[in-house]
Structure 1
Amino acid sequence: MIEALTLPFQFPFMQNAFVICAIVAIPCALLSCFLVLKGWALMGDAISHAILPGVVLAYILNLPLILGAFGAGMFTALATGFLAGNSRVKQDTVMGVVFSGMFALGIVLYTQIHTNVHLDHILFGNMLGVGAEDLWTAGLISLVVAGALLLKWKDLLLHAFDPAQARASGLSVGLLHYGLLTLISLAIVATLSATGLILAVGLLIAPGAIGFLIARSFGRMMIAASAACLFAMLAGTYLSFFLDSAPAPTIILILTAIFLAALVRRGILTRRASAQV
């Protein structure tokens, strides 16, 4: 029984999968807390889809895929922020137009080249195929993202709740705005080899939503989100070995189940509090 339960840890590809889960879980969870509070859930979705043309162009130019992904992500983030701030069109509409256009461009470019890189690995990730280079890349990016968030979390929190107050307090609102967009792009690049472009949005939304339902303070929200994301990533990777399923979708399903459980718990606590009153 013990040998069967520890079987996944005996394979090098599973060991790498567990390591990259531990690497990207915390920064994604921390970032998702700010996205949930700021109402930027669709921003993560837009950037994750819009990275595709950058990945394809990087492959055509024989450049590291991470450079193309980051370049496309930053272009999408900056273009969305600029258009939303300098036009009458609402931000969600701008995101929908920009992300769908970039994603379509990526699909068109991909169909025009001949490559051994399967589109599924880009869209859904290839966690069981990560190597040492992927681990180092994800580790460095995760360190930068987590460090920036922990260093500036109070400023980012004020900016998320009240940008006008943040500006009145002397904070550089523009720097915080575009800095957060940069961190989103970096986080998506870090998860590129793990969960892929499409499922990366789940790591940028679900943990923060879970923490929001569980905790009453922002500090506890970040702790709850990090714990939920880390547990879901490790448990999903572990279960996928026995279920013979892809790790990334299994992780997202576990995150969804945790969110639903937290939602039910919050509803029960709310009804109890109402009954006591």
Structure 2
Amino acid sequence: MEVGMLELLAEPMGYEFMRVATATSIIVAVTCSILSSFVVLRGWALLGDAISHSVLPGIAIALALDIPYIVGALLAGVGSSALIGLVESRARIRNDTAIGVVMTGAFATGLILLSWMRPAVDVFHVLFGNPIGVSPNDMYISAAIGALVLLTVAVLLKEIVAYTFDPIFSKVIGIPTTLLHYVLMILLSLAIVSALNTVGIILVITLLVTPGATAQLISRNITQMIGASILIAVSSAIVGLYLSYYLSISSGGAIAGVATAIFFGVLVTKTLMRRLREKNR
């Protein structure tokens, strides 16, 4: 039985594409999960979803101009964040309404551009990811992005934590909150770009929200939350890839599905434990 289990774990790693896919997925999981805690605590789930959808026209334009898609995606992601703020302030509408308008408009524009230009790229993989098809070059790009995100968060951790919990107080004590806001938007855009090949535009929000949401259920402070978020995201990536390999299902969907299953598993377990404690009092 033990030998059989070891064989099941070892077999996929005998293929180079699975080793590259696993390494890339772990890198992306760590990158997204570190930001996930701040996304959840700031209530930016919808904003993260909007940015992920808004990178599509940037990717389409970059492919048409034959420039790195990362450049187009990054500019589109940061631009959409600025546009949301502009629409909210000028049109005097709620933030979630502005996000909805910009998100759907940008995503629709991206689909129109891709269908019109018909670039040599599989739109399904852009939308839903395909880590099995990731090349070593894609892995290096994800690693570089991940390193940049980790370094930036490490350098600005105190400021980011203060801004996350109390942006007004942070501004009072001299933290440049507007600049910090856009730094976080850039980091979110970079994380989304790094995840395009793994879970795609549609499902990347899972890695940006679900690990942090799950970690919040079991953590007492921000340090524990970040650590738990990383562990949950990495576990989701590895288990999802194995399920994809053995069940021949969508890799991105499997990773997102495992992350969601872990969230509900933790939620149900915590609820049952709380009820048992109340019953035994």
Shorter chain as normaliser: what TM range? Answer: over 0.9
Structure 2 counterpart of 1:58, which letter?
A: A
Q: Which residue of 2 aligns with 1:128?
A: 132
Correspondent of 1:59 among 44, 55, 63: 63
The 1-side partners of 2:259 and 2:9 are apart by 22
Number of residues of Structure 1 aligned to a counterpart in Structure 2: 277
Query: 1:10/1:162 Cα in 2 relative to 1: closer, same or farther (>3 Å)?
Result: same
Q: CA deviation at 1:276?
A: 6.2
Q: Which residue of 2 aligns with 1:104?
A: 108
Q: CA deviation at 1:272?
A: 4.3
Correspondent of 1:248 among 252, 271, 276: 252
Write the mapping of 1:119-158 to structure 2, written as runs, cut at 5 A. Answer: 119-158=123-162
The 1-side partners of 2:93 and 2:118 are apart by 38
Q: Which residue of 2 aligns with 1:47?
A: 51
Write the mapping of 1:70-89 to structure 2, written as runs, cut at 5 A. Answer: 70-89=74-93
Correspondent of 1:188 among 185, 192, 205: 192
Q: CA deviation at 1:164?
A: 1.0
Structure 1 counterpart of 2:109, which letter?
A: L
Correspondent of 1:36 among 23, 34, 40: 40
Query: 1:57/1:211 Cα in 2 relative to 1: closer, same or farther (>3 Å)?
Result: same
Uncovered stretches (5+) of structure 2, i.e. residues with no partner? none
Q: CA deviation at 1:67?
A: 1.2
Q: Deviation per CA, 1:185-232: give whole Å up to 9, x if none.
A: 010011111111111111000000011001111110111110000011
The 2-side partners of 1:274 and 1:82 are apart by 49
Percent of paired sites with the same residue: 37
Contact 2:56–2:73 (Cα < 8 Å) also in 1: yes
Contact 1:53–1:102 (Cα < 8 Å) also in 2: yes
Q: Which residue of 2 aligns with 1:267?
A: 271
The 1-side partners of 2:142 and 2:64 are apart by 23
Q: CA deviation at 1:264?
A: 1.2
Contact 1:206–1:259 (Cα < 8 Å) also in 2: yes
Q: Which residue of 1 aligns with 2:121?
A: 117
Cα RMSD, aligned residues only: 1.5
Q: CA deviation at 1:153?
A: 2.2
Q: Which residue of 1 aligns with 2:261?
A: 257
- TM-score normalized by the length of structure 1: 0.95
Contact 1:77–1:182 (Cα < 8 Å) also in 2: no
* Structure 2 residue 10 is matched with structure 1 residue 6: yes
Q: CA deviation at 1:129?
A: 1.2
Contact 2:84–2:98 (Cα < 8 Å) also in 1: yes
Q: Which residue of 1 aligns with 2:21?
A: 17
- TM-score normalized by the length of structure 2: 0.94
The 1-side partners of 2:7 and 2:233 are apart by 27
Query: 1:218/1:86 Cα in 2 relative to 1: closer, same or farther (>3 Å)?
Result: farther
Q: Which residue of 2 aligns with 1:176?
A: 180
Q: CA deviation at 1:114?
A: 2.9
The 2-side partners of 1:140 and 1:73 are apart by 18
Write the mapping of 1:229-248 to structure 2, written as runs, cut at 5 A. Answer: 229-248=233-252
Partner SS for 2:117: coil
The 1-side partners of 2:88 and 2:172 are apart by 22
Structure 2 counterpart of 1:236, which letter?
A: G
Partner SS for 2:220: coil
Q: Which residue of 1 aligns with 2:225?
A: 221
The 2-side partners of 1:132 and 1:271 are apart by 49
Q: CA deviation at 1:77?
A: 1.4
The 1-side partners of 2:107 and 2:8 are apart by 42
The 2-side partners of 1:269 and 1:246 are apart by 34
Contact 1:210–1:259 (Cα < 8 Å) also in 2: yes
Query: 1:120/1:264 Cα in 2 relative to 1: closer, same or farther (>3 Å)?
Result: same
Q: CA deviation at 1:56?
A: 0.7
Query: 1:150/1:114 Cα in 2 relative to 1: closer, same or farther (>3 Å)?
Result: same
Query: 1:276/1:3 Cα in 2 relative to 1: closer, same or farther (>3 Å)?
Result: closer
* Structure 2 residue 30 is matched with structure 1 residue 26: yes
Partner SS for 2:92: coil
